[in-house]
Amino acid sequence: MSEPSGDRILVTGALGQIGTELVEALRQKHGSSSVIASDIRPEPEQTSNEQGPYVVLDVLDTESMIELCRQEAVGTVYHLAALLSATGEQNPDLCRKVNVGGTKSVLEAARQCSLRVFSPSSIAVFGPDAPKHAPQTTDFNPTTVYGETKVIGESLAQEYFQKYGVDTRGIRYPGLISYKAPAGGGTTDYAVEIFDAAIREGHYNCFVRPDTRLPMLYMDDAIRATLMLMDAPSGNLGPSRAGYNIDCYSFTAQELADEIAREVDGFQCDFSPDVRQKYADSWPDSLDGSVAKQEWDWSPEFDLQKMVRAMLDGMTKK
Ligand SMILES: NC(=O)c1ccc[n+]([C@@H]2O[C@H](COP(=O)([O-])OP(=O)(O)OC[C@H]3O[C@@H](n4cnc5c(N)ncnc54)[C@H](O)[C@@H]3O)[C@@H](O)[C@H]2O)c1
């Protein structure tokens, strides 16, 4: 594996749910000027005062990405630009183009500029035939286009590691719960929207059934896991390096609503499942994260109760 040519960091899809918080964490850790945030959208006015460089970059534009990485001495890319599951199923061609094409573009830039790459995968790689407590390795037969793009993303990352020595790493993120930026069109968005609705209206109409159980993680844990994986010595990482299952918390939509109702007087939740139920039903209930535990010592800090309190506190202050 060749050494990165620079030590600055590029984040693609930086205006999204994860990017908003990852950029902040990376700037705290490495210094503001070391972290270049990028997205296909122009920087919104309210964030323009925040310290640190910002560029408009379409991840499909490999040449511009390579030029930027060379000019700005980038050594690591956190590649977050993607279409999520619900949006992706509405636009399957665009989903394939951005998710597979964008990952290929980043990996090609990494090969040519000796970059380290973090490229997230998702629990959507699993299909309905996978065990409900999903193991690290099984048959991957996703029924969503989004899931297919994540399976391909993992194998592309593996291929670039094995063939070209590119240091690629990834986590199969579960549903991520946060309040700093809106959720980006995924199936687990109900677990984010419910908090805003509880605080503003005391009521939420949930788009999955009450017994829908999915693996979830509070954003602080997701960011910590991401930084831990990127800090792990490469030699510690085995064949799962492009897409680790990680230990997280699993709860049903009803259990989440009940926990919020314990904190927000009078909160009520109704359930009207829509098309997203089908995607949720095809995914696992929980993850076996033992490989991540063994290779880079991951365990989460936020359980359901702690996460609900942190969300309500954060949203109320916001
Ligand atoms: N949020 C979750 O719960 C979750 C769960 C599992 C996996 N993931 C994965 O994590 C990554 C980031 O997810 P997120 O929740 O922050 O997504 P998001 O939808 O909130 O943000 C994605 C960002 O990518 C940008 N983008 C779209 N097309 C682009 C292009 N061609 N070039 C550059 N930027 C483009 C969008 O403008 C957006 O700001 C994705 O790979 C996603 O699949 C997220």
**In this structure, are residues 316 and 199 in contact, taking their beta carbons and an 8 Å threshold?**
yes
Point out the least confidently predicted range of 47-61, 94-108, 184-198: 47-61
Ligand 1 center to residue 29 CA distance, Å?
Answer: 22
pLDDT, tens only, 31-40: 999 999 999 9
Measured from the Cα of 85, ligand 1's closest atom is: 43
Query: Is 173 part of the annotated catalytic residue set?
Result: no
Q: In the prediction, which pLDDT does 45 show?
A: 79
d(CA 57, CA 78): 13
Full-model pTM: 0.96
Q: In the prediction, which pLDDT does 110 show?
A: 98
Measured from the Cα of 81, ligand 1's closest atom is: 24
User: Which structural domains are found in the chain, ordered by start?
Assistant: 8-174+218-236 (3.40.50.720), 175-217+248-287+302-317 (3.90.25.10)
d(CA 24, CA 66): 24
Q: Are strands 133-134 and 286-287 parallel, antiparallel or unpaired?
A: parallel
Q: In the prediction, which pLDDT does 50 show?
A: 57
Angstrom distances, CA of residue 236 to CA of 71, 116, 124, 222, 239: 32, 15, 26, 20, 10
Six token digits for residue 98: 């951005």
d(CA 27, CA 31): 5
Q: In the prediction, which pLDDT does 4 show?
A: 64
Mapped onto helix, strand or coil, the DSSP state of residue 76 is strand
**In this structure, are residues 302 and 310 in contact, taking their beta carbons and an 8 Å threshold?**
yes
Q: In the prediction, which pLDDT does 48 show?
A: 47
Tell me the mean pLDDT in the region 137-149.
97
Mapped onto helix, strand or coil, the DSSP state of residue 252 is strand
Q: In the prediction, which pLDDT does 93 show?
A: 98
**In this structure, are residues 34 and 48 in contact, taking their beta carbons and an 8 Å threshold?**
no
Q: What percent of the chain has pLDDT over 90?
A: 93
Q: What percent of the chain has pLDDT over 70?
A: 97
Give the distance from CA 223 to its chain's centroid: 9
159 or 3, higher pLDDT: 159
* Helix extents (H) in the chain: 17-30, 62-71, 85-90, 92-96, 102-113, 145-164, 190-201, 219-231, 253-263, 276-281, 290-296, 304-317
Ligand 1 center to residue 156 CA distance, Å?
Answer: 18
